[in-house]
Amino acid sequence: MEAQKTATFLSLSENVGQFSLLDKTFLIPEMNRIGAHLLAGAFRSFGVNALVMGTYEGLDLGKEFTSGKECFPCQVTTGDILLFLKKEKESLGDDFNPENYIFFMPESEGPCRFGMYNKYQRIVLDSFPEFRKVKIGSLTSEDSYALEGMIEKERARDFRKAAYFSVVIADILDRLLWRIRPYERKQGATDGFIERSMMTMADSFESYGAKKDFDRILGKLEEIVEEGKALIDPDIPPKPLIGIVGEIYLRTHVHSNQDVIRVLERYGAEVVNASIAEWVDYTTYDKVRAAKAGLRLNLKQFRFNKVKSYLKQVLSYGGDLLYQHIRLDQAYKRVKPLLDLAGDHRVAHLEKTLIKHDLYSFELGTEACLSIAGIMEFMHEGYNGAVNVYPFTCMPSTITSSIMRPIMNHERIPFLDAPYDGTCQPGREAAIRTFMYQAYQHYKRHGRKKH
Ligand code: SF4
């Protein structure tokens, strides 16, 4: 028994972490579909055999190997990896070698359970003798998702740049989808167009990501935006604008959220979901913040040896954040003159919003920082309603709801909490329909924000 416990703990440290991806198949779970495929393209450009796994079909397996107390994204991704490996083993037979695979499951520091998914999934994989040697490749928000050990050291920084850019471009493609679909001339045309565009951009990242030829990638994106614009019927009048915030996996994984954006659109909305780049920027911003705090404290205490190390961190993370801002601005500047897509928030601005209204503190961390401030921004910008999408029992999203619901009620702006756990809520569609009725009334009274 003792030996078994020791083996379990050893496995958590030895088989979860940063491993070289050379000659391995790197399995990327599909969270945001476009983001996963563009990121895989960026990895392939650096010689990594990256593959986006199918998703949600393994949910029964995910539920079978979890207790029900885990967060829903943990159940979904557990099912994804188990089903993938089972199918792979079935199709390859004796040629199946678990050492050929690395499953990608990042983590984040902080008080909630995302930091534990990959540990839990390690225990599950270890319970199958044939999958024990499948490693879990993890990046952490603790070092702002640095890639040390996974990609050759001298190329890691370049990869990080290409990966970040893939996140920004995926956000823009998603925004293009939400901008066109409610106004499409021909029903169903947008979905096919975006699927094709996603593949084009994934190929583009594969060809130009490692060369950091971002200009070529943006050129392709411009062509796509121009093509997408032509799908819009200019005679369809503007619709109520709805902003979505919430837990990153649920709000971007259309299977888990039962395609909430499409349902909102069916009842007359145009929707903008919070971006993924915002989360990446937040993790970098938080490192700069923490380094600045350490610097101030050690300066006050005259601990100059530590001052030097904190100063280095401020400069290093600050440089990363500046780089991210430059790339983000570059991409949006190229597409916005072509089509009025929604922009992105600066995290520093979101923190100022929280401080100004005394709503929450970045000291407490979690996505609540972004969601609460994000809803405040929607409110100030003239959105007609906001939806908080999250896994049932998610801690940061419950905090968001408890803080923002009374404010939205007071401001008479429609607000909807939409928790999901994989079951069908019989009243959900009625709640969305009612919410959209309220949003339409708001739109009639106040008009709406232009992008
Ligand atoms: S953010 Fe929510 S869903 Fe994600 S780990 Fe934390 S509590 Fe769970």
In-domain check, residue 299: no
> Is the beta carbon of 76 within 6 A of some atom in ligand 1?
no
Counting from 1 in the atom list of ligand 1, the atom nearest the Cα of 366 is 1
Full domain range(s) for residue 86: 2-150
Give the model's pLDDT for residue 403: 98
Reported confidence tier of residue 112, pLDDT bands at 50, 70, 90: confident
Counting from 1 in the atom list of ligand 1, the atom nearest the Cα of 116 is 5
126 and 267 assigned to the same domain = no
127 and 267 assigned to the same domain = no
Cα(111) to ligand 1 centroid in Å equals: 9
Give the model's pLDDT for residue 146: 67
- Is the pLDDT higher at 346 or at 112? 346
146 and 247 assigned to the same domain = no
Give the model's pLDDT for residue 79: 98
User: Which positions ≥6 away from 347 have C-beta within 8 Å?
Assistant: 278, 281, 282, 285, 370
pLDDT per residue as tens digits for the range 180-202: 999 999 999 999 999 999 999 99
pLDDT per residue as tens digits for the range 310-336: 999 999 999 999 999 999 999 999 999
Reported confidence tier of residue 447, pLDDT bands at 50, 70, 90: very high
In-domain check, residue 42: yes
Asked whether the beta carbons of 112 and 119 are under 8 A apart, the reply is no
State what percent of residues in the chain have pLDDT above 70. 96
CATH of the domain at 349: 3.40.50
Domain boundary among 92, 120, 150: 150
Give the model's pLDDT for residue 171: 98
> Is the beta carbon of 395 within 6 A of some atom in ligand 1?
yes
Reported confidence tier of residue 1, pLDDT bands at 50, 70, 90: low
Reported confidence tier of residue 141, pLDDT bands at 50, 70, 90: low
Give the model's pLDDT for residue 451: 61
Report residue 159 as tokens: 């990869």
Give the model's pLDDT for residue 151: 86
Asked whether the beta carbons of 387 and 421 are under 8 A apart, the reply is no
Which of 116, 389, 395 has most ligand 1 atoms within 8 Å of CB, for mutation? 395
137 and 7 assigned to the same domain = yes
In-domain check, residue 439: yes
What angle in degrees, to the nearest 10, is found between the helix axes of 153-180 and 276-300? 130
Domain boundary among 116, 150, 184: 150
Give the model's pLDDT for residue 2: 65
Give the model's pLDDT for residue 444: 97
- Determine the average pLDDT of the residues in 289-301: 96
Chain Cα centroid distance, residue 132: 28
In-domain check, residue 159: no
104 and 246 assigned to the same domain = no
Q: Is the pLDDT of residue 149 over 90?
A: no
Closest CA to 106 of 130, 71, 77: 77
> Is the beta carbon of 396 within 6 A of some atom in ligand 1?
yes
Provide the residue type at 249 as one letter: Y
In-domain check, residue 181: no
In-domain check, residue 204: no
For the chain, the straight-line distance linking the first and the last C-alpha, in angstroms and rounded, comes to: 61
246 and 146 assigned to the same domain = no
- Determine the average pLDDT of the residues in 41-49: 97
pLDDT per residue as tens digits for the range 367-425: 999 999 999 999 999 999 999 999 999 999 999 999 999 999 999 999 999 999 999 98
Distances, alpha carbon 440 to alpha carbons 71, 125, 239, 368, 432, in Å: 33, 48, 8, 27, 12
For 394, phi and psi rounded to 5 degrees?
-60, 125
- Determine the average pLDDT of the residues in 293-313: 95
Place of tokens 């650096």: 46
Reported confidence tier of residue 11, pLDDT bands at 50, 70, 90: confident
143 and 244 assigned to the same domain = no
Give the model's pLDDT for residue 142: 67
243 and 352 assigned to the same domain = yes
Reported confidence tier of residue 4, pLDDT bands at 50, 70, 90: low
Give the model's pLDDT for residue 133: 97
Q: If you take atom 6 of ligand 1, which residue's CA is the nearest one?
A: 112
In-domain check, residue 167: no
Calculate ∠ Cα 392-398-404, nearest 5°. Answer: 135
User: DSSP letters along 182-247, please?
Assistant: GGBSSTTHHHHHHHHHHHHHHHHHHHHTTTT-HHHHHHHHHHHHHHHHTTB-TTSPP--EEEEEE-
Closest CA to 255 of 67, 430, 114, 75: 75
> Is the beta carbon of 169 within 6 A of some atom in ligand 1?
no
188: left (phi over 0), alpha (psi -120 to 50) or beta: left
Reported confidence tier of residue 129, pLDDT bands at 50, 70, 90: very high
Reported confidence tier of residue 6, pLDDT bands at 50, 70, 90: low
Place of tokens 């380094």: 291
Which of 116, 394, 401, 420 has most ligand 1 atoms within 8 Å of CB, for mutation? 394
Q: What total number of domains does the chain contain?
A: 2
pTM for this predicted structure: 0.96
> Is the beta carbon of 112 within 6 A of some atom in ligand 1?
yes
User: Which positions ≥6 away from 6 have C-beta within 8 Å?
Assistant: none
Q: If you take atom 7 of ligand 1, which residue's CA is the nearest one?
A: 394
User: DSSP letters along 119-136, please?
Assistant: HHHHHHHHTSGGGTT-EE
Chain Cα centroid distance, residue 363: 21
- Determine the average pLDDT of the residues in 101-110: 87
Q: 140: helix, coil or strand? A: strand
361 and 264 assigned to the same domain = yes
Report the alpha-carbon distance of residue 236 to residue 230 in Å, rounded.
13
Q: Which residues pair with 416 in a beta bridge?
A: 387
Give the model's pLDDT for residue 283: 92
pLDDT per residue as tens digits for the range 171-183: 999 999 999 999 9
Closest CA to 104 of 199, 198, 16: 16
User: DSSP letters along 71-93, please?
Assistant: -HHHHHHHHHHHHHHHHHHHHHG
Give the model's pLDDT for residue 449: 72
> Is the beta carbon of 394 within 6 A of some atom in ligand 1?
yes
> Is the beta carbon of 370 within 6 A of some atom in ligand 1?
no
| Element at 390 (helix H, strand E) | strand 385-391
Which of 31, 70, 71 has most ligand 1 atoms within 8 Å of CB, for mutation? 71
Reported confidence tier of residue 64, pLDDT bands at 50, 70, 90: very high
In-domain check, residue 252: yes
Cα(88) to ligand 1 centroid in Å equals: 29
> Is the beta carbon of 246 within 6 A of some atom in ligand 1?
no
> Is the beta carbon of 247 within 6 A of some atom in ligand 1?
yes
Q: Is the pLDDT of residue 101 over 70?
A: yes
Report the alpha-carbon distance of residue 197 to residue 227 in Å, rounded.
10
Environment class of 56 (CB within 10 Å of its CB; exposed 0-12, middle 13-18, buried 19+)? middle
Give the model's pLDDT for residue 419: 97
Q: Is the pLDDT of residue 107 over 90?
A: no
107 and 244 assigned to the same domain = no
